Homo-oligomer: A and B are copies of this chain.
Amino acid sequence: MKFAHEYADAHFDRFQEQMYELLRIRSVSTSPERSEDVRQAAAWLADDMRRIGLHDVEVIPTGGHPIVYGEWLGAGADAPTVLIYGHYDVQPAALEDGWHSDPFEPVERSGRIFARGSSDDKGQVVAQLKAAESLLAGGGSPVNLKFLIEGEEESGSIHLGDFVRANTERLKADVCLISDSGMPTEDQPSIIYALRGMVVIELEVYGPSNDLHSGSYGGAVHNPLQALAEIIAQLHAPDGRVAIPGFYNDVLPLSEAERAELHQTAWTEDAWRQVTGAPASWGEADYAIHERIGARPTLEINGMAGGFFEIGMKSVLPAKAWAKISCRLVANQDHEKIGQLVRDFVLDITPPTVRSMVRVLLGSSPAFVDIQTPAMQAAIAAYKRGWGKRPIFMREGGSIPVVADFQKELHLPVILMGFTLNNDSAHGPNEHFGVEMFRKGIHTTMYFYEELARRELR
| Residues of A near any B CB (own CB < 8 A) | 28, 30-32, 91-92, 97-98, 154-156, 182, 196, 198, 200, 207-223, 225-226, 228-230, 232-236, 267, 272, 276-284, 289, 292-293, 296-298, 300-319, 321-324, 326, 328, 352-355, 361, 396-399, 422, 425-430
Chain B residue contacts of A154, Cβ below 8 A: 315
The reply to whether B91 and A212 contact each other, CB–CB distance below 8 Å, is no
Can you name the residue of chain B whose Cβ is closest to the Cβ of A422? B216
Can you name the residue of chain B whose Cβ is closest to the Cβ of A294? B219
Q: 12 A-B contacts, Cβ less than 8 Å apart? A: A31-B311, A210-B425, A211-B428, A213-B397, A215-B398, A217-B276, A222-B282, A225-B304, A229-B301, A277-B319, A315-B326, A316-B428
The reply to whether A272 and B303 contact each other, CB–CB distance below 8 Å, is no
CA distance A296 to B92 in the complex (A): 45
A189 to chain B, nearest CB (A): 17
Chain B residue contacts of A430, Cβ below 8 A: 210
Specify which of B32, B281, B316, B397 is in contact with A302 (CB 8 Å cutoff).
B316
CA distance A194 to B221 in the complex (A): 20
Most buried by B among A32, A226, A278: A278
The reply to whether A354 and B278 contact each other, CB–CB distance below 8 Å, is yes
Answer whether A307 and B315 are a contact pair too, CB < 8 Å, given A208-B277, A282-B353, A354-B279: no
Chain B residue contacts of A235, Cβ below 8 A: 226
Chain B residue contacts of A219, Cβ below 8 A: 283-284, 292-293, 296-298, 300, 328, 397
CA distance A282 to B326 in the complex (A): 30
Specify which of B211, B234, B282, B428 is in contact with A97 (CB 8 Å cutoff).
B211
The reply to whether A277 and B210 contact each other, CB–CB distance below 8 Å, is yes
A391 to chain B, nearest CB (A): 18
The reply to whether B221 and A91 contact each other, CB–CB distance below 8 Å, is no
The reply to whether B91 and A315 contact each other, CB–CB distance below 8 Å, is yes
Can you name the residue of chain B whose Cβ is closest to the Cβ of A97? B211
Specify which of B277, B304, B308 is in contact with A307 (CB 8 Å cutoff).
B304
Chain B residue contacts of A323, Cβ below 8 A: 225
Chain B residue contacts of A316, Cβ below 8 A: 91, 302-303, 427-428
CA distance A313 to B209 in the complex (A): 26
Answer whether A361 and B218 are a contact pair too, CB < 8 Å, given A305-B304, A426-B213: no
- Having A28-B312, A229-B233, A302-B307, one finds 9 other A-B pairs with CB under 8 Å, namely A210-B430, A218-B300, A220-B283, A225-B303, A226-B235, A226-B301, A229-B301, A280-B353, A305-B309
